[in-house]
Amino acid sequence: MLSWRKKSLSSFAGDEVLSRLTSEISLSKPFIKFILVLVAFASLTLAVMRPQLGSKLEEVKRKGVDVMIALDVSNSMNAEDIRPSRLERSKQAIYRLIDKLEGDRIGLIVFAGQSYVQLPITTDYSAAKLFLSTISTDMVPTQGTAIGNAIEMAVESLGDSVKHNSAIIVITDGENHEDDPVTAAAEAAKKGVVVHAIGMGSNDGAPVPVYRGGNKIGFLEDNSGNTVISKLDQFSLQDMCDAGKGKFVRATNSDDGLTKILSEIKSMEKQEFSSKLFTDYDDQFQYFLGLTFLLLIFEQLISRRKSSVMKRLDLFNEMKNKSNRK
């Protein structure tokens, strides 16, 4: 805009005439005013964003239980005998579990043919929900159902948790093809870790959908071309829970079995945790808002005319130039 204004003035009069006509107009002040308005706008934008700072780091004491959830993400968990699917219903149950926890710590493991720690043990329930939302049957490349390995990894992830204050909840259809979950559960129980299980699926079973590009293209077939029917293996899961001194609950379309497992967890002996958190968050927007007003007021106070000092300097230069001409 400044360059456009200069061109317009140049077309109106020559340089010498223009210099005399605008002798009292400052060339730098419009630029300074523009910079002030620009900074004021940036400050106002920050104020609208309502920045906050934690004014105090406080150690919060909690009492609860360590809960590691081992979630089956094998392809058979896409079966739809439990609506909307075994996996989606499992995730809904975990969401409900998180909402009902009070001071407990939670961790998340996903497994199929291999096991992975999705979320280390934490009291951050928001993070737990965020990680849970990303889970799908595509996230573990090796297919299968290694429940025993998942239990071992859950015990390892619990670390130095106090005995009788930790539990593992295995959520699966129970079709174990890889290892010995009963032995793994028994070893966990020896360390004071209780192993519960929620069986996702029905005794009659259901075909396993096959997806491509997010669209269902058919159902899983065996080498003979027959549709594979995935059934809940509740007897194996019951044996595992007996060895792990926990409860087995079979989920249905009307009851995901969470209430019984949650009551078992709440009856456990609590241990005390401590976590450091920022508390008493203070709004900082008022400082940016104040800076915006100050900048705008300062911009309005700046005149486009030259200051008296600059005028005297210009007058001195003009007199000097006249003497030189003589």
DSSP assignment string, 46-93: HHHT--EEEEEEEEEEEEE-EEEEEEE-SGGGG-SSSSS-HHHHHHHH
Q: pLDDT tier at 315 (50, 70, 90 boundaries)?
A: very low
Helix, strand, or coil here: 146? coil
Residue 303 has pLDDT above 80, yes or no: no
- Over the chain, what is the mean pLDDT? 83
Q: Stretch 162-172: mean pLDDT, rounded?
A: 84
Q: What's the CA dihedral at 182, 184, 189, 192 to 10 degrees?
A: -160
What percent of the chain is predicted at pLDDT more than 70? 77
Q: Which residues pair with 59 in a beta bridge?
A: 276
Distance CA 217, CA 268 (A): 46
For helices 285-301 and 29-48, what crossing angle results, to 10°? 160
pTM of the complete model: 0.67
Beta pairing, strands 206-207 & 115-122: unpaired
Distance CA 297, CA 291 (A): 10
Q: pLDDT tier at 314 (50, 70, 90 boundaries)?
A: low
Q: Give the pLDDT score at 15.
A: 56
Model confidence over 74-111: pLDDT tens digits?
999 999 999 999 999 999 999 999 999 888 999 999 99
Collect all residues with Cβ–Cβ distance below 8 Å to 77 and sequence separation of at least 6.
85, 86, 87, 90, 137, 172, 173, 200
Q: Stretch 219-245: mean pLDDT, rounded?
A: 93
Q: Stretch 169-175: mean pLDDT, rounded?
A: 92
Q: Stretch 169-184: mean pLDDT, rounded?
A: 88
Q: For residue 174, which of 229, 228, 233 has the smallest C-alpha distance?
A: 233
Q: Give the pLDDT score at 177.
A: 66
Q: For residue 235, which of 243, 224, 225 has the smallest C-alpha distance?
A: 243
Q: Which two tokens stand for residue 62?
A: 């909690």
Model confidence over 264-274: pLDDT tens digits?
988 887 877 76
Model confidence over 190-227: pLDDT tens digits?
999 999 999 999 989 999 999 888 888 999 998 899 99
Q: Which two tokens stand for residue 285?
A: 């927007």
Containing H/E element for 117? strand 115-122
Model confidence over 33-54: pLDDT tens digits?
888 888 888 888 888 888 877 6
* 59-276, CATH topology level: Rossmann fold (3.40.50)
**270 neighbors 66 (Cβ within 8 angstroms):** no
Residue 308 has pLDDT above 90, yes or no: no
pLDDT, greater one: 113 or 33: 113
pLDDT, greater one: 41 or 325: 41
Q: Give the pLDDT score at 232.
A: 93
User: What is the amino acid identity at position 65?
Assistant: V
Q: Give the pLDDT score at 276.
A: 62
Burial zone of 64 (CB within 10 Å; 0-12 exposed, 13-18 middle, 19+ buried):
buried
Across 11-15, 61-65, 70-74, 251-255, which has the greatest mean pLDDT? 70-74
Containing H/E element for 37? helix 29-48
Where b means 16+ CB within 10 Å and e means fewer, 134-149 reads ebebeebeeebbbbbb
Every domain of the chain and the residues it spans: 59-276
